Structure 1
Amino acid sequence: MTTKHFACKVDEIPEEAAKIVTVSNMPIGVFKLKDGFHALLNICPHKGAALCEGPVCGTTKQTDSTEFVYDRAGEIVRCAWHGWEFDIRSGEFLVDSSVKTRRFDVSVDGSDLYVHI
């Protein structure tokens, strides 16, 4: 069973970065994407860096040619320490989906955002 915990006001969450909050003694990054709000544990599973404090960006798309195609703008957070890229919606590492950071469900009530733990 999960419990919802107040995290922040919706208008405190920036468009292209995470709002870092502490909920139940855990550092959590809250993101605003086009499809809504998402929350990830602010700990990179690689070496323990503050993952959600890295840049929110896109990544290069796999193609059959030698050209680079930038894709998924605003959907990826890149760890500032070693450049590992994680999907903000799922918490999955882009190179190996078996590596993940913890994600949390969120809900909005009026102007309040809650993280479910």
Structure 2
Amino acid sequence: MVNTKEKHRLVVCSAEELQEGNRQLIEVNGVEIGLIRAEGIIYAFRNSCPHQGVPMLYGSVVGTMLPSKPHEYVYAHHNEIIRCPLHGWEFNLKTGKAMFSPDVSIKTYEIKEENGEIVLYLDKEPKQVTRKAFSCILSS
């Protein structure tokens, strides 16, 4: 059986409004979705850490150390990891999976830049959409 479930297209903002390193926050049908552009890639994810519900959009976007042999240090996923600002849980922005366990994740959403617009693709029809104020000063 082939699933041909149609995605709902939602223009979130112009590409100008989501420059490198910028973040946006929207609410769709009561769910907050965070948007980040890092290394030219746009990510969209549910703005809630599965641990204690802390807003993930305030977290650092970083790389991480991978398991390795003694005295060997393997750094990977540069600017593809978002770290929960409260307890430091790390999630891959591409997959939503936690770095410590594939059984824990944050929901990610399909998002693209099309004709100068940032477009979010949703499984459910967006009936109520709100662009929320967001400010965050991040140090490098």
Q: What TM-score do the two structures reach when normalised by structure 1? A: 0.86
Partners of 1:49 and 1:79 within 8 A in 2: yes
Equivalences, count: 117
Q: Distance in 2 between matches of 1:7 and 1:79?
A: 24
Q: Which residue of 1 aligns with 2:89?
A: 84
Stretches of 4+ aligned residues off by more than 4 angstroms: none
Q: Sort the Cα spacing of 1:14 and 1:56 in 2 relative to 1 into closer, same or farther, 3 A.
A: farther
1:6 aligns with 2:11: yes
Higher deviation after alignment, 25-34 or 92-101: 25-34
**Structure 2 stretches lacking a partner, 5+ long:** 1-5, 123-140
Select 2:103's aligned residue among 98, 106, 110: 98
Partners of 1:106 and 1:113 within 8 A in 2: yes
1:108 aligns with 2:109: no
Q: Distance in 1 between matches of 2:115 and 2:29?
A: 22
1:21 aligns with 2:22: no
Larger Rg: 2
Q: What TM-score do the two structures reach when normalised by structure 2? A: 0.73
Higher deviation after alignment, 88-97 or 56-65: 56-65
Identity of aligned pairs, percent? Answer: 26
Q: Sort the Cα spacing of 1:84 and 1:21 in 2 relative to 1 into closer, same or farther, 3 A.
A: same
Select 1:58's aligned residue among 52, 56, 63: 63
Report the CA distance between 1:81 and its aligned residue: 0.8
Select 1:31's aligned residue among 31, 36, 39: 36
Report the CA distance between 1:110 and its aligned residue: 1.1
**Structure 1 stretches lacking a partner, 5+ long:** none
